[in-house]
Structure 1
Amino acid sequence: MQHSMSDDGWLVRETAFSAERANFYETIFTIGNGYQGTRGSLAEGHKGELSATYLAGVYDHHDSSVIDLVNAPSWLPVRITVLGQVLDVQNCKILDHARTLDMQSGQLHRTTTFEDANGLITKVETTRFCSLDDQHVAGLEISVTPVNHACEIAIESGIDGERYNLDCLPAYKEKQTPLPETKWEKWAKSQHLKVENKQANSDACYLQAVTLDTGITIGMASSTICKNHATVSDPTMEYERVSQRITLHPSEGETYLFEKRVAIFTSRDIDADQIEIACLKKLNEIEQKGLTYCQDKSAEVWREKWAVCDCVIDGDVEATRAVRFNIYHMLIAANPNDPRANIGAKSMSGEGYKGHVFWDTEIFLLPFYIFTQPETAKALMLYRYNTLTGAKENAQENGFAGAQYPWESADTGRETTPKWTHDGLHRIWTGEEEIHITACVAYGVISYVSHTGDWQFMLDHGAEMLIETSRFWVSRLEHNQEDDRYELTRVIGPDEFHEHIDNNAFTNRMAQWHLVQTANALDRILAESPKIFDQILDAHGLTQTEIEAWRQTAAKILIPYDSDSSLIEQFSGYFDLDDLEIIEWDENDMPCYPDGRDHFTLNDTMILKQPDVIMLNYLLPDEFTDEEKQVNFEFYEKRTMHKSSLSPSIHCIMGIETGDYSSALKYFTRSAFVDLIDNQGNTQDGMHIASAGGTWQSVVCGFGGLRIKNGQPTFKPWLPQSWTGLQFRFLWQSSLISIELTHTVMTFDLSSEATEALEIQVDGTPVILEPGVTQSVLLSPFTA
Structure 2
Amino acid sequence: MREIYYSYTTDELWLIKETHWDVFLQNIREAQFSLGNGYLGTRGIYEEIPYDAMPGTYITGLYDKMGSQVDELVNLPNPINFKFTIEGEKLDLVAMDVLEHKRVLNMKKAFLVRHTLYKDTKKRRYDYQSLRFISFHNKNIGVMQIALTSLDKDCIVDINTGIDTSVSNQGILSEGRKRHFRIRELGQAHNAGYLIIETLERKHTIVYWSGFYYEVNGKKIFAEHNIFRLKLKKGQTVIFTKIFCIKHFPYKENHLSYKKQTFKIFYKAFCSDFSTLLKNHLKMWEKLWRKADILIEGTANLQQNLRFNIYHMLTCLHYNDGFSSIAARSLTGEGYRGHIFWDAEIFLFPFYLFNFPQVAKNMLLYRYKRLDKARELAKREGFKGAKFAWESADTGEEETPEWSKDFDGTVIKIYTHKQEHHITADVAYAVYKYYLATGDEEFMRKFGLEIIFETARFWASRVECNKRKDIYEIKNVIGPDEFHKNVKNNAYTNMMAKWNLVVAARLFEKFKKEKPSVYKRLKEKVNLKEKEVKEWQRIAPKIKFN
The two structures have a TM-score, normalised by structure 2, of: 0.94
Query: CA offset at residue 456 of structure 1?
Result: 1.9
- Flag structure 1 segments of 5+ consecutive residues without an equivalent: 171-186, 236-243, 562-784
> Is residue 2:439 matched to residue 1:453?
yes
Question: 1:595-744, aligned counterparts within 5 Å?
Answer: none
Give the secondary structure class of the aligned counterpart of 1:295.
helix
Please tell me whether residue 233 in structure 1 is matched to residue 219 in structure 2: no
**Residue pair 1:60, 1:70 contacting (<8 A) in 2 also:** yes
1:221 aligns with 2:209: yes
Q: Deviation per CA, 1:644-701, whole angstroms, max 9, x where unpaired?
A: xxxxxxxxxxxxxxxxxxxxxxxxxxxxxxxxxxxxxxxxxxxxxxxxxxxxxxxxxx
* Residues 87-126 of structure 1 aligned to structure 2 (within 5 Å): 87-126=91-130
Is 1:314 matched with 2:297?
yes
1:380 CA drift (Å): 1.0
Q: 2: CA distance between counterparts of 1:70 and 1:112?
A: 31
> Could you say which residue in structure 2 is the equivalent of 1:511?
497
Cα distance in 2 for residues equivalent to 1:433 and 1:462: 25
Name the counterpart of 1:155.
159
Question: CA contact under 8 A between 1:233 and 1:245: conserved in structure 2?
Answer: no
- Measured after TM superposition, the shift of residue 232 of structure 1 is 7.3
From 188, 205, 210, give the equivalent of 1:200. 188
Corresponding position of 1:72: 76
1:382 correspondence with 2:365:
yes
Show the counterpart of 1:596: none
Q: CA deviation at 1:168?
A: 2.2
1:525 to 506, 511, 525: 511
Moved over 6 A (4+): 269-272
* Percent of residue pairs bearing the same amino acid type: 35
1:536 and 2:518 aligned: no
Other-structure match for 1:254: 236
Q: Give the alignment's Cα RMSD to 1 decimal.
A: 2.0
Question: What is aligned with 1:146?
Answer: 150
* Aligned counterparts, 1:387-398, within 5 A: 387-398=370-381
Counterpart amino acid of residue 90 in structure 1? V
Q: 1:232–1:246: 8 Å Cα contact kept in structure 2?
A: no
Give the number of aligned pairs.
536
CA distance in structure 1 between the partners assigned to 2:94 and 2:190 by the alignment? 30
| Paired residue secondary structure (2:411) | coil
Determine which of 16, 25, 28 is the counterpart of 1:24.
28
The structural deviation recorded for 1:218 is: 1.5
Cα distance change on mapping 1:307 and 1:505 into 2, 3 Å: same
Give me the whole-angstrom Cα distance separating, in 2, the residues matched to 1:18 and 1:390. 45
TM-fit CA distance, 1:91: 2.0
1:344 aligns with 2:327: yes
Q: SS of the counterpart of 2:427? A: helix
In the superposition, relative to structure 1, how do residues 371 and 97 fare at CA in structure 2: closer, same or farther (>3 Å)?
same
Structure 2 gap segments, 5+ residues each? none
Normalising by structure 1, we get a TM-score of: 0.66
* Letter of the 1:148 counterpart: D
Residue of structure 2 in register with 1:746 after alignment: none
Compute the displacement of 1:407 (Å): 0.8
* Pairing 1:432–2:418 present: yes
Going from structure 1 to structure 2, the CA distance change for 1:466 and 1:326 (only over 3 Å counts) comes to same
Contact map agreement 1:261 1:291 (CA 8 A) in 2: no
TM-superposition CA deviations, 1:736-770 (whole Å, max 9, x none): xxxxxxxxxxxxxxxxxxxxxxxxxxxxxxxxxxx
Q: Secondary structure at the match of 2:326?
A: coil
**CA distance 1:319–1:510, shift in 2 (3 Å):** same
One-letter code of the match for 2:110?
G
Deviation per CA, 1:157-206: give whole Å up to 9, x if none: 21112221113259xxxxxxxxxxxxxxxx82122111111113571111
1:356 equivalenced with 2:339 (yes/no): yes
Match of 2:278 among 295, 313, 338: 295
Q: Residue type of the partner of 1:289?
A: S
Residue 775 of structure 1 is matched in structure 2 by none
**1:166-181 map, 5 Å:** 166-169=170-173
Distance 1:219 1:338, change over 3 A: farther
> In structure 1, the residue corresponding to 2:223 is in which secondary structure?
strand
1:51 corresponds in structure 2 to: 55
Judged with a 3 Å threshold, the aligned counterparts in structure 2 of structure 1 residues 444 and 397 are, in CA distance, closer, same or farther, namely: same
Distance 1:296 1:485 in 2: 63
Q: CA deviation at 1:120?
A: 2.7
More divergent stretch after superposition (12-21 vs 289-298): 289-298
Task: Please tell me whether the aligned partners of residues 231 and 247 of structure 1 are also in contact (alpha carbons under 8 angstroms).
Answer: no
> Amino acid of the residue matched to residue 4 of structure 1?
S
Mapped partners of 1:419, 1:337: distance in 2: 31
* 2: CA distance, partners of 1:538 / 1:272: 43
Which letter maps to 1:402?
A: G
Question: Per-residue deviation at 1:233?
Answer: 3.3
